[in-house]
């Protein structure tokens, strides 16, 4: 039935199970006449209560336990949790240990971004249901994508022991650090990966992008002297510039009926985290050749079209390859794999740039190092309100589209964010009555 | 292959981190071959094309934690010729099964910001507690080579070759010196099923039990060793209560401590 012939009537767009996203969500849009009445990104993935059961666990277990929140970005959880606990203990992990963490994180960016670019997002632009069917027509492209993704995974396996839920990260550093020769063994592969990433930038920049340019509030980290991955201050394009420890004074979370994730707002307003936000706030920190490349493929220092996030992800993938090569080249084996850690009663916050945007952790522990309170704010719950805003704008501007196409475009709008619903959903705060 | 039925593969998700189904996409060298051998009929993380059942092989990730999911797994079972539970969530309830050990009374007094919006069960349970499971592949996450072995075995109607022995054998095969004997590092390897490749001891730390209990584990003997190494009762209980807390041998051992 062609609903568009009856503009005065109510139209609904409903997608019961979103595909090509991590986790379980649904989409609901209701249009009455020419007005978008309701937009909901439903998150029905069941809560897992990490913040509740972390209480009473030893601080040293936190990086391994929180990694289990997300199989796609476990390193992000390990890094944000370690940094929060290290902040609490007054530890600063610097030098080559910090460089190794950045290197491990580069592996996760390469793996996660490549997964999203080619497997989750690209099929939308090319009209395929998935990358496997794309491979039937363009086998070389998909094989090269798999090679790029594999290199990211190999970097994670080398430094982390395995690609999903790495086992080598600990509060204070690592259990074991690699010898230089081990790192250099993956150097050739990374150089090939860099070539594929460059091809990817040029290829995805040539896709057709629907027109949408919201006036976003971007939020990202700002790391001293480098494109943000591991740490930094939290900044926005509206003048926010705060230390991580002040996060909760500026960002609030609310619980809405249709979602098993908490919605975050900045002073009551929705905001955007992730590649687009990082790029817009840190363009000046990209190496000059990458800035030129961005310009060459039609991306200026400002990019507000969420559909072009695929191009930004490709640029970040290329950056991660180059950064990994640089870090490898400068690597010298540290004297010890980690700093000595002595627990004490303290509270600390940490934040890092997960592939999908800033991931905030705060922990409080007692003098024995047992966790007494945990708070985790993942990127997708921060973006959820913005996704709904994008949908509202996009649908309002494209009411003339036939329903199947509008539905597909709505799904694509959601996939622009690379939403990780598994992450977003597990954070319903429970207030536990004191147990003795 | 015209005229020949290509088996259909479905991948289902319950409460989980997505990591075990991601393992399939992480088989970069084999993914296209797998996709050539089967019809991927339902795999939402990877494809928007969904074919109706019945399915020849269903891989199920995640644990059952909501009334709705308890019904959904029944429908999936009915629609699947073979059903394989993959990963610690699906085989033992996962890390979210830590809720199972909270005082039930205290749990009913748990207050959310808006509890009326949430539906959840008191327990996180393994798939096998709800439906018949044809095979359980352990791991948090599963090992991708083992995942391919299981898919291949079911497609060829043979038993998967997944060894039930302990991590210790993998350390020996890998040439890793025992971290517990040589360095006094507490390790769950002697009671944990192999499959990961004994990564942790190779990285200078003790095994923490991602693959759950091995066949007939002697947890009592191991915990005596841990006591000897100075690990207190609470820490011992917590060591058995992680990603496979719901696995019988581990939950039984945990109950002896703390």
Looking at residue B166, its pLDDT comes to: 98
Looking at residue B106, its pLDDT comes to: 52
Say if residue A43's pLDDT is above 80: no
Say if residue A417's pLDDT is above 60: yes
CA distance A15 to A23: 14
Residue B5: pLDDT band by 50, 70, 90 thresholds?
confident
Say if residue A267's pLDDT is above 90: no
Q: Answer yes or no: do B203 and A163 touch at CB < 8 A.
A: no
Strand-pairing partners, residue A349, are A362
From chain A, the residues in CB contact with B87 under 8 A are: none
pTM of the model: 0.94
Domain A50-425 has CATH 1.10.645.10: yes
Per-domain boundaries in chain B: 8-155, 167-255
Say if residue A4's pLDDT is above 60: no
Task: Give how far Cα B115 sits from Cα of A25, A255, A428, B44, Å.
Answer: 20, 10, 9, 29
CA distance A101 to A221: 16
Q: Answer yes or no: do A175 and B204 touch at CB < 8 A.
A: yes
Chain B residue whose CA is closest to A418: B45
Q: Answer yes or no: do B113 and A429 touch at CB < 8 A.
A: yes
Out of A5-9, A322-326, A351-355, pick the least confident. Answer: A5-9
Higher pLDDT, A263 or A187: A187
Residue A259: pLDDT band by 50, 70, 90 thresholds?
low
Q: Answer yes or no: do B110 and A165 touch at CB < 8 A.
A: no
From chain B, the residues in CB contact with A153 under 8 A are: 26, 28
Looking at residue B201, its pLDDT comes to: 98
Say if residue B109's pLDDT is above 50: no
Task: Give mean pLDDT, residues B213-219.
Answer: 97
Say if residue A432's pLDDT is above 60: no
- Provide, rounded to the nearest whole percent, the portion of chain A with pLDDT above 70: 93
Say if residue A426's pLDDT is above 80: no
> How many CA atoms does the CB half-sphere of A240 hold within 13 Å?
24
Instruction: Output DSSP code: residue A209.
Output: -
Asked if residue A185 has a cis previous peptide bond (ω within 30° of 0), the answer is: no
From chain B, the residues in CB contact with A430 under 8 A are: 110-112
Say if residue A2's pLDDT is above 80: no
Residues 6+ apart with CB under 8 A from A18: A24, A25, A26, A27, A411, A414, B44
Looking at residue B107, its pLDDT comes to: 45
Reduced to 3 states (helix: H, G, I; strand: E, B; else coil), residue B192 is strand
Instruction: Output DSSP code: residue B189.
Output: G
Looking at residue B4, its pLDDT comes to: 64
Chain B residue whose CA is closest to A115: B25
How many A/B residue pairs have CB atoms within 8 Å?
188
Reduced to 3 states (helix: H, G, I; strand: E, B; else coil), residue B52 is coil
Looking at residue A117, its pLDDT comes to: 97
Task: Give mean pLDDT, residues B131-135.
Answer: 98
Query: Angle A140-A145-A147 (CA atoms, 0-180°, nearest 5)?
Result: 95
Mean pLDDT across chain B: 92
CA B194 to chain centre: 13
Q: What's the complex ipTM?
A: 0.94
What is the Rg, in whole angstroms, of the alpha carbon atoms belonging to chain A? 21
Looking at residue A258, its pLDDT comes to: 66
Tokens of B150: 């299981």
Task: Give how far Cα A195 sits from Cα of A160, A198, B152, Å.
Answer: 24, 5, 34
Looking at residue A425, its pLDDT comes to: 58
Nearest by CB to residue B118, choosing from A17, A130, A428, is: A428
From chain B, the residues in CB contact with A64 under 8 A are: 208, 242
Residues 6+ apart with CB under 8 A from A224: A232
Nearest by CB to residue A163, choosing from B18, B26, B118, is: B26
From chain B, the residues in CB contact with A343 under 8 A are: none
Neighbour tally for A251: CB within 10 Å: 20
Residue B258: pLDDT band by 50, 70, 90 thresholds?
confident
Looking at residue A143, its pLDDT comes to: 96
Say if residue A428's pLDDT is above 70: no
Out of A277-281, B4-8, B46-50, B190-194, pick the least confident. Answer: B4-8
Residue A433: pLDDT band by 50, 70, 90 thresholds?
very low
Residue B118: pLDDT band by 50, 70, 90 thresholds?
low
CATH of domain B8-155: 3.40.50.700
pLDDT 10s digits, B77-100: 999 999 999 999 999 999 999 988
CA dihedral of residues A55, A60, A62, A64 (deg, nearest 10): -140
Tokens of B204: 């200078």
pLDDT 10s digits, A92-101: 999 999 999 9
From chain B, the residues in CB contact with A45 under 8 A are: 15
Asked if B73 is an interface residue toward chain A (Cβ–Cβ < 8 A), one would say no
Residue A420: pLDDT band by 50, 70, 90 thresholds?
confident
CA distance A400 to A21: 27
Task: Give mean pLDDT, residues A124-134.
Answer: 94
Sign of CA dihedral B24, B27, B32, B38: negative
Residue B203 sits at φ, ψ, to 5 deg, of -105, 25
Q: What is the DSSP string of A162-190?
A: SSSS-S-EETTEESS---HHHHHTTHHHH
pLDDT 10s digits, A113-128: 999 999 999 999 999 9
Looking at residue A77, its pLDDT comes to: 97
Nearest by CB to residue B203, choosing from A23, A161, A428, is: A161
Looking at residue A255, its pLDDT comes to: 65
Say if residue A320's pLDDT is above 50: yes
Higher pLDDT, A81 or B105: A81
Asked if A432 is an interface residue toward chain B (Cβ–Cβ < 8 A), one would say yes
Looking at residue A435, its pLDDT comes to: 28
Count the residues in chain B: 258
* A257-261, B33-37, B139-143: range with highest mean pLDDT: B139-143
């Amino acid at each position: 039935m062609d609903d568009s012939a009856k503009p005065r009537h109510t139209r609904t767009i409903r997608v019961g199970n979103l595909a090509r996203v991590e986790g379980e969500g649904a989409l609901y849009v209701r249009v009455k006449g020419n007005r978008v009445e309701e937009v909901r990104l439903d998150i029905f993935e069941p809560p897992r209560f990490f913040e509740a059961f972390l209480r009473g666990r030893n601080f040293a277990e936190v990086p391994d336990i929180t990694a289990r929140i997300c199989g796609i970005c476990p390193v992000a959880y390990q890094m944000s949790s370690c940094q929060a606990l290290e902040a609490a203990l007054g530890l600063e992990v610097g030098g080559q240990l910090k460089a190794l963490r950045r290197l491990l994180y580069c592996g996760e960016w390469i793996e996660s971004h490549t997964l999203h670019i080619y497997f989750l997002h690209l099929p939308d632009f090319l009209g395929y249901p998935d990358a496997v069917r794309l491979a039937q027509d363009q086998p070389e492209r998909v094989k090269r994508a798999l090679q790029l993704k594999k290199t990211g995974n190999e970097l994670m396996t080398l430094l982390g022991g395995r690609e999903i839920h790495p086992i080598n990260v600990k509060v204070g550093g690592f259990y074991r650090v690699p010898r230089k020769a081990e790192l250099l063994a993956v150097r050739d592969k990374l150089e090939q990966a860099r070539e594929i990433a460059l091809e990817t930038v040029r290829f995805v920049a040539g896709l057709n992008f629907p027109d949408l340019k919201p006036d976003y509030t971007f939020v990202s980290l700002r790391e001293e002297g480098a494109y943000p991955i591991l740490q930094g201050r939290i900044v926005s394009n509206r003048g926010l510039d705060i230390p991580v420890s002040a996060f909760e004074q500026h960002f609030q979370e609310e619980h809405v009926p249709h979602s098993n994730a908490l919605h975050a707002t900045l002073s009551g307003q929705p905001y955007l985290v992730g590649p687009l936000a990082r790029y817009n706030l840190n363009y000046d920190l990209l190496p000059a050749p990458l800035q030129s490349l961005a310009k060459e493929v039609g991306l200026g220092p400002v990019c507000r079209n969420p559909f072009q996030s695929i191009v930004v992800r490709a640029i970040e993938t290329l950056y991660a390859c180059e950064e990994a090569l640089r870090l490898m080249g400068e690597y010298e084996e540290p004297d010890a794999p980690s700093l000595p850690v002595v627990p004490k009663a303290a509270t600390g916050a940490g934040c890092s740039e997960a592939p999908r945007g800033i991931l905030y952790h705060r922990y409080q522990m007692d003098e024995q190092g047992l966790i007494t309170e945990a708070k985790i704010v993942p990127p997708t719950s921060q973006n959820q309100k913005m996704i709904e805003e994008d949908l509202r704008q996009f649908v309002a501007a494209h009411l003339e589209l036939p329903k199947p196409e509008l539905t597909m475009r709505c799904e694509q709008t959601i996939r622009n964010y690379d939403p990780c619903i598994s992450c977003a959903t597990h954070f319903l705060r429970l207030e536990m009555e004191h147990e003795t | 292959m015209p005229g020949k039925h290509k088996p259909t593969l479905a991948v289902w998700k319950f409460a989980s981190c997505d990591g075990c189904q991601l393992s399939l996409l992480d088989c970069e060298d084999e993914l296209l071959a797998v996709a050539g051998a089967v019809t991927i009929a339902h795999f939402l993380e990877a494809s928007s094309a969904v074919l109706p059942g019945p399915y020849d092989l269903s891989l199920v990730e995640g644990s059952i934690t909501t009334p709705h999911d308890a019904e959904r797994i029944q429908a999936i079972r009915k629609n699947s010729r073979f059903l394989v539970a993959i990963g610690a969530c699906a085989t033992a309830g996962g890390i979210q099964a830590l809720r199972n050990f909270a005082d039930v009374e205290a749990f009913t007094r748990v207050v959310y910001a808006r509890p009326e919006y949430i539906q959840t069960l008191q327990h996180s349970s393994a798939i096998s507690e709800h439906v018949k499971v044809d095979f359980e592949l352990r791991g948090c996450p599963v090992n991708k080579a083992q995942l391919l072995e299981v898919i291949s075995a079911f497609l060829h109607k043979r038993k998967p070759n997944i060894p039930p022995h302990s991590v210790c054998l993998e350390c020996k095969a890998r040439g890793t010196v025992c971290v517990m004997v040589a360095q006094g590092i507490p390790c769950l390897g002697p009671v944990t099923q192999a499959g990961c490749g004994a990564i942790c001891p190779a990285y200078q730390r003790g095994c923490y039990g991602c693959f759950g209990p091995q066949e007939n584990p002697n947890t009592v003997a191991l915990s005596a060793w841990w006591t000897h190494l100075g690990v207190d009762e609470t820490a011992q209980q917590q060591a058995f209560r992680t990603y496979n807390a719901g696995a019988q041998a581990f939950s039984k051992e945990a109950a002896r401590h703390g």
